Copies of this chain bind each other. A is one copy, B any other.
């Protein structure tokens, strides 16, 4: 499977590298695919990874990961053109620039905005609730954190679920895409605990059942 990374920063770079090292074909999309940082990223990710323009990256995809900074997201997504029904994992968070809140709240969500912009895509929200350091290595000793995902298309979610599990998370289907209205604040909880309220970045949540 070819996984195309739209936005190859911390989140996109980490996830793409781990997927590539796990045997997937990974294309790191960038406005400047020949830049030095992209060459370094591809070298680290290994022989199944390459870099390409954003448009070529989208074309190559079986699955897309969207991990752009929020202010760039609309323009980047609209620039991809029709995505022909491919699953798109939305790992963005519609954060205000100062992290003081979300730009979209209880009457909609960033994920739903993305879905309105991403023509032809079946959007699944995932990978938006912990920092990239946790995505890089989810293990907490023998314990495994949860990763929620949500979306309106069952088949797209079936595609995404093993991608979550392969990275070492417990994948939990949180329902339709509008559930992003809850997962996006969940992300901000992680961020504020990690960065403002003293917990540091090596934190995550485990889902408990009994």
- Where the two chains meet, the residues of A that have a C-beta atom closer than 8 Å to any C-beta of B are 101-102, 104-107, 140-141, 143, 145-146, 148, 172-175, 179, 181-186, 188-189, 192-193, 196-200, 202-210
Contacts and interface: CB of A to CB of B under 8 A. Distances in A.
B179 A189 contact: yes
**Interface secondary structure of A, over-half rule:** mixed
A205 B208 contact: yes
A145 B210 CA distance: 12
A104 B148 CA distance: 23
Q: In the assembly, how many copies of this chain are there?
A: 2
Contacts of A188: 182
A185 B190 CA distance: 13
B205 A206 contact: yes
Contacts of A143: 206, 208
A19 B193 CA distance: 28
